[in-house]
Structure 1
Amino acid sequence: MASTLCSRTFLAASHRLITPSLLPQKPLNLASFLTRRGFFSQLGSYSTAYRSARAMASAGIGARAGYSTSSSVATNEPVVSVDWLHSNLREPDLKVLDASWYMPDEQRNPIQEYQVAHIPGALFFDLDGISDRSTSLPHMLPSEEAFAAGCSALGIENKDGVVVYDAKGVFSAARVWWMFRVFGHDKVWVLDGGLPRWRASGYDVESSASGDAILKASAASEAIEKIYQGHSVSPITFQTKFQPHLVWTLDQVKNNMEDQTYQHVDARSKARFDGTAPEPRKGIRSGHIPGSKCVPYPQLFDSASQTLLPAEDLKKRFEQEEISLDKPIMASCGTGVTACILAMGLHRVGKTDVPVYDGSWTEWATQPDLPMEGEDSSS
């Protein structure tokens, strides 16, 4: 009965909040969405109703497993299940991040979708906002100082465990998992199957439940901007410890072409890799970096559940492409997003030190003097 009451109250509150006048009809950035009249005025009634419903239904949730990011989940395992997250969702030292992001040609707005439905209590992590502002390349890794400022604005501390998810299943969440690891925070996991699996399991979502989360997302982006403008930001609650072996530059990839110390694996589709399909960004040549091999990232997931394959199946998948797990491996893709899925899969099989080429194909292909293979290699 409590569960039914929770669902009815939740749905009623959702319908009060999500109205045609409030939802943007065209994609909006975070700042413009926040300024819409009436947005925050409707949050209060929903949040109160939702909290009351959750309290009444809490007895029906069942006993939660004891939570400790240092003991209940191993840091050598890159994912957690939706059941685990549901059991530990309200623990105070666990932060959940919605890191949804989409390719330019998908015409989807992750901020708007976050407003419509997200895991209760999740913060929004803006992949484009928490990025390097000194380059024209998209969502490149920010500086240590900038990442610390952005995470601090979100309210993340070093004691926190972090679970990242996205609305596609497992896509951009892997990039944020990698970012935290690059900056020395190992207590980070990707939600296996993401928001689709969470919803398919029957677990609740919030609709614009937290104005505080939106303000924090905006504050994080503003903090990053201040850092790149040379200003200081405080308070800083998240300390970084840069792990340079997990991120590669263009020069490192060029050097590896000569000495071939690392096997180079590309996460893009076979058609993009071969140069028979255009890149999603205009003006980018098609093809691949010489010496690299293609393992399209969707092949690392179970086709039915869209969860990460077991370790033995992952090993077989890489071995099919003649990639030796006994030798060093580095990963790339289009702009450093899906390469992190390869790094995540390799992490599961014990290779926890796989670097990602941050600029990836978008950086490489825009350098006219660099070699390439594929359909456009003669142009």
Structure 2
Amino acid sequence: MRAFPLVGGPVELRGALDLDRTQAGVMPRRLPAWTKEQYQDPSVYGVTVMPSGVRLVFRTDARELEFEVLTSTGQLDTDPRPRPTGMLELLVDGAPAGRRPAPMGNVVRMASPGAAQRLVPGEPGTVRFAGLPMGMKNVELWLPQQTPTELVALRADGEVLAPLPDGRRRWVHHGSSISHCLEADGPTGTWPVVAASLGGVEVINLSQAGNDMLDPYVARTIRDMPADLISLKTGVNIVGLATFRLRTFGPAVHGFLDTIRDGHPDTPLLLMSPVSCPALEETPGPTAMGPDGKITALGDPADVARGALSLTVVRDELARIVAARRARDPHLHYLDGRELLGPHEVDDLADGLHPTAAAYRRMGKHFAAHAFADDGPFR
């Protein structure tokens, strides 16, 4: 087995916009370094280093590959076991070629979600994929979408070369946890990856669990990066945390779109509203977890008349904004999120908010059928 550099060599790291250097190796991050000083909430950094959609890409004639990684997973003091580390998935020439549990490494302990953290250091672990097809082939190693993963080493029993351009369009997507897809059964089971595979495009997933807040630094990031297709799925975090009123929500959406259009004036841009979530359809946030383990809304439905946001209000406002802008922006499109997961599918929301792994895959198929259709926005 021969070691190959993970940075500055033939391997491309796709889906990440920056790297943090660590004692063990490098940590992919899905937002650029300059954004860190603008995070008001430390959870933003935590979700940007969860590598949803991040993969190593190269060509090789090796029959055996080894990847050494150091994961960091959380554990509540009330739970005897750390959270699952997720899966590493290997694709060869676009087809599944193996999946392995990510090795347990660091454990970050806390008394409750959001409480002070205590690091229990761990060691890097190695995953091995053997029996690969003979000859030169295209390889992608997808990192677990829910677990920060430091890349330590790549070893192969053959040559490793840079990937060749494949001509696919680049789709940049931003959304909430329902696009980050922590509950998916693996990194290629997130709905954006499923949709990208069906649409024949390459996806860059900038979604941030719990932090889809129309943050200006995200808009500037999208403005400044190459993109052939752009989609934004917004609203559920904003309603769930009661961060906007109707008076401020509309201008924030316009500002987000304006910033993106500064860099991509004619790029197809699809604005999506939230999928179904019974607790928030007519009732404003904030939310809490009920005794039944499902999300419940704490707001007053009567406050909607005074400007509070429910999902119904958000959908109406997003549709109105797109209709108003299309006269001067014909490449802007709207999709009601209930087309991806509607009221008849809410039994697939395990906690009343987040889809199951099977539902995520179905959402990807629904999105592809709409967006990449002959008359769709990404045709």
Structure 2-normalised TM-score?
0.28
Q: Give the number of the structure whose residues are more often helix, by fraction.
A: 1
Q: Give the number of the structure whose residues are more often strand, by fraction.
A: 2
